[in-house]
Amino acid sequence: MSDPKDAYVTISYSPGQDPPFQLNTGLPVGRDGEIIFKNDGHPGFWVHYTLDDSFGDYVFPNDEQQALCSAVIEDGQNSCPDEGVWGEFYPHRVKDRNRTLVVRNINGKLPKGKDEVRFGYTLYVTENPNGDGDFLGLDPIGSNQNGNTGKF
């Protein structure tokens, strides 16, 4: 049985643009800009989100639970959550002096009759990693496809 697949996403910050961030990854990206997760026989992913130097003093909070909210997007919705964590896409740990957040994407079995599960998530960064200050929310969209093919 194989391990979860490692995926890397570098995030650039451009205040004043809409959205004020850009994701750079080797993963496929859909026409709406969502990252497409296809596990290629692996039991899901470890997704490493890394802030590039354009973020300046912004980092992920020390508590990884404060760094991410996630939820399935229901038909007709296209908004990202500002609370809660979907059990298929959750924060695992913060590393590299709080510049990287590692997220576990289970990419589980698809519901009957579906070829993808669209989900929204918000990554939170701050200038105070202790979580006492203001947070800046970055809210991309994802698409889990082809489901989990093993256990972790």
pLDDT band with cut points at 50, 70 and 90 for residue 150: very low
Q: Report the range out of 75-79, 127-131, 146-150 with the highest average pLDDT.
A: 127-131
- Report how far residue 12's alpha carbon sits from residue 124's, in angstroms, rounded to the nearest whole number: 14
Q: Is the pTM of this model over 0.85?
A: yes
Q: Is the dihedral of CA 37, 117, 49, 87 positive or negative?
A: negative
Cβ atoms of residues 60 and 46 within 8 Å: no
Please give the domain boundaries of the chain with CATH numbers for all domains.
5-145 (2.60.40)
Q: At residue 55, what are phi and psi to the nearest 5 degrees? A: -80, -10
pLDDT in tens, 112-147: 888 888 898 999 999 999 978 899 999 877 777 765
